[in-house]
Amino acid sequence: MERLSAGFDGIDLMIKRDDGTGLAFGGNKARKLEFIMADALEKGADTIITWAGVQSNWCRQTAAATARLGLQSILVLFRKEGVSIEPDGNLLLDSLFNARVEFVDATADTKMMELAAVADTIGRLEEEVLESGGTPYVASIGGSRVEGSMTEPLGALGYVEAFMEIFRQTSATGDLPDAIVHATGSGSTQAGLLVGAKLLSPKTKIIGVSVSEDEETMSRYVREISDATFDLLETGTRVEEGDVIVLPDYLQEGYGILTREVADAIDLVATTEGILLDPVYTGKAMSGLLDLLGKGVFPEGSSVLFLHSGGTPALFPYRNDLLDHLDR
């Protein structure tokens, strides 16, 4: 990102465009779904059940993957007070992929990332599928945790593979990053990158900007998924003290709440690089990266890679708030 880098002397900023993965406007979930959908097919499933927030990128890409494979998807979407359920952004795309959507009410205290928060609804839907002669497969939110029908950390495997790809690309150009900064919401993207870095490039720090949970909770998710992934790969490696870096400060008012800092980050990247970020994930991660750069956290000569994990369909339902913040 040459123009953006010009604002920070001595720092080389790069971007990994996982918003270009090709499945339903792209995003990081496509890498995870390669493994998860294979597992579902192997287990004879015809219906994928999962959950997330109203404007979930995970659910949108899951719905697209099931459509592509001729399966059915059931999406349980947490709705907080005041959140619109008009068919806009990802919700519109869910409908186009013929997903069945069920809304459940959520509060600020709802632990959306955990199966326990939605277990009763998921259980009822599993029974409905079984009674109709179908075979359900419950995929954890974000394809992250080992729960539901997932007996292995399949989502994280997608990002071990992604780190291998980053390693090949940047090694070839001599730009192996000192740090990778990204949005961390359910833990498996960060866990997969961390496993990949530990195995291939221990000097590369994996920095997750939390968009959903406090530091303790998110760090626990990342450690658990990372260790399960190491076990699956039989490397004998484990997460050590200091490996998991989660920054909670940029969560600010909470998951999915657009702030002026996030709006400014979206604006800056759009006007310098012609790249679109979203208000929920990548915009928050970029606001965190810009703050770290402004504070001089990265030494002169550092190479920093920003992982664009997708999510741009969410720009549209946030359009009014975004333009208000930017005075346009």
Active-site positions? 56
Structural contact between residues 129 and 66, judged by C-beta atoms closer than 8 angstroms: no
Distance CA 191, CA 38 (A): 20
Mention every residue, 6+ apart, whose C-beta is less than 8 A from residue 157: 32, 35, 192, 229, 232
Residue 184's pLDDT band (boundaries 50, 70, 90)? very high
What's the mean pLDDT in 223-234?
95
Residue position matching structure tokens 């939605």: 118
Give per-residue pLDDT as tens, 81-118.
888 899 999 999 999 999 999 999 988 788 888 899 99
Q: Write down the pLDDT at residue 252.
A: 87
Structural contact between residues 309 and 19, judged by C-beta atoms closer than 8 angstroms: yes
Q: Write down the pLDDT at residue 112.
A: 84
Q: Write down the pLDDT at residue 150.
A: 96
Q: Write down the pLDDT at residue 88.
A: 94
Distance CA 102, CA 76 (A): 5
| 3-state SS, residue 27 | coil
Give per-residue pLDDT as tens, 48-65.
999 999 999 999 999 999
Q: Write down the pLDDT at residue 23.
A: 94
Q: Write down the pLDDT at residue 86.
A: 92
Q: Write down the pLDDT at residue 107.
A: 83
Distance CA 160, CA 31 (A): 10
Q: Write down the pLDDT at residue 253.
A: 85
Structural contact between residues 279 and 266, judged by C-beta atoms closer than 8 angstroms: yes
Distance CA 256, CA 259 (A): 9
Q: Write down the pLDDT at residue 110.
A: 85
Q: Write down the pLDDT at residue 256.
A: 85
What does the mean pLDDT of the chain come to?
95
Q: Write down the pLDDT at residue 321.
A: 93
Query: Taking the model in full, what pTM does it have?
Result: 0.95
List, in order of start, the domains of the chain with CATH numbers: 2-27+154-325 (3.40.50.1100), 29-143 (3.40.50.1100)
Give per-residue pLDDT as tens, 11-40.
999 999 999 999 999 999 999 999 999 999
Q: What are phi and psi of 137, to 5 degrees?
A: -135, 120
Give per-residue pLDDT as tens, 265-299.
999 999 999 999 999 999 999 999 999 999 999 99
DSSP state for residue 86 in the 8-state scheme = S
- Quote the percentage of the chain above a pLDDT of 90: 90
What's the mean pLDDT in 38-50?
98
Residue 254's pLDDT band (boundaries 50, 70, 90)? confident
Distance CA 20, CA 8 (A): 26
